[in-house]
Amino acid sequence: MLKKIVIAIDGYSACGKSTTAREVARILGYRYIDSGAMYRAVTLYFLEHHVAVTNPKEVDRALQQIRVSFAVSRKGNSEVFLNGLSVEQEIRQMRVSAAVSQVSTLKPVRLAMVDQQRKMGKHKGIVMDGRDIGTVVFPEAELKLFLTADLLTRAFRRQRELLERDEMVDLDQVIENLMERDRIDSSRTESPLKKASDAHEINTTHVTIDEQVDEVVRLSLSAMVAGRTATS
Ligand code: DC
């Protein structure tokens, strides 16, 4: 039997991390966790309850009221739940995208999410995507990937996703949001986005999703076989 591993996928917004991670998990029979969805769910709660991110007491109080979980929908997709309600659609709205990077800079928010993410990965057999998965959440992950793509490609992809959800957003607004999130995600003090030194970098600009998935599955199988050789 091949050893179950942890696959950590990090990178900038809209590089195809989630699409790749979800499909790789399906092929390997692993659990898929979209860690960005967790930060988005917290952000949605903060927006709906008017939590002032500059007030640590309010943030702590809100965090005590928040329960983020995942469940597989009837269509077989992993969906994020906030206090028992599916918020998979709401968390993709631009109003959440516009606020999520700010909320993700808060230390108590990160501590709560990382703690939960580590518990989910305890038994391995998991693919998790985000910004700090290979550097902070699972520094011992058997396979780490860092996805990149040029800004315009990412913006086109994100705009198409929003259109599929009937949200019409101008391309310049999408570009601005991606640039601003890249800036905040990479420059924050707590767990900034950076490539782990042992991560494989994949530039997805000129690669189809199928090619991307095939490459990651191939790397995953190599990591599993290497694990078996090391332990046998
Ligand atoms: O992957 P995404 O674009 O849905 O993530 C939304 C935001 O959440 C992103 O701008 C930064 C934050 N995030 C984070 O700080 N750490 C993670 N592991 C995942 C996401």
Distance (Å) from CA 225 to ligand 1 centroid: 31
- Cα dihedral 162, 48, 128, 1 sign: negative
Nearest to 45 by CA among 62, 27, 31: 62
Domain boundaries, the chain: 6-211
Token representation of residue 190? 């707590």
181 lines ligand 1 (CB under 6 A): yes
H or E segment at 129? strand 126-130
- For the segment 226-230, the average pLDDT, to the nearest whole number, is 71
Q: Where are the alpha helices (DSSP H) in 67-128?
A: 94-104, 107-120
Q: How confident is the model at residue 126 (pLDDT cuts 50, 70, 90)?
A: very high
CB 6 within 8 A of CB 143: yes
Distance (Å) from CA 114 to ligand 1 centroid: 12
Q: How confident is the model at residue 78 (pLDDT cuts 50, 70, 90)?
A: confident
pLDDT computed for residue 229 by the predictor? 63
The neighbouring-strand residues paired with 84 are: none
Distance (Å) from CA 166 to ligand 1 centroid: 22
Q: What is the CATH number of domain 6-211?
A: 3.40.50.300
The span from the CA of 16 to the CA of 204, in Å, is 8
Tens digits of residue pLDDT in 160-205: 999 998 889 999 999 999 999 999 999 999 999 999 999 999 999 9
Prediction pTM value: 0.93
Tens digits of residue pLDDT in 24-61: 999 999 999 999 999 999 999 999 999 999 999 999 99
How many CB atoms are closer than 10 A to CB 33? 24
Q: Return the best residue to mutate from 18, 35, 39, 68 for the ligand 1 pocket (most ligand atoms within 8 A of CB).
A: 39
What DSSP designation does 43 have?
A: H
The span from the CA of 8 to the CA of 24, in Å, is 12
Ligand 1 atom 4 nearest Cα: 36
Phi-psi domain of 170 (left: phi exceeds 0; alpha: psi -120 through 50; beta: other): beta
The span from the CA of 185 to the CA of 176, in Å, is 14
The span from the CA of 93 to the CA of 216, in Å, is 29
42 lines ligand 1 (CB under 6 A): no
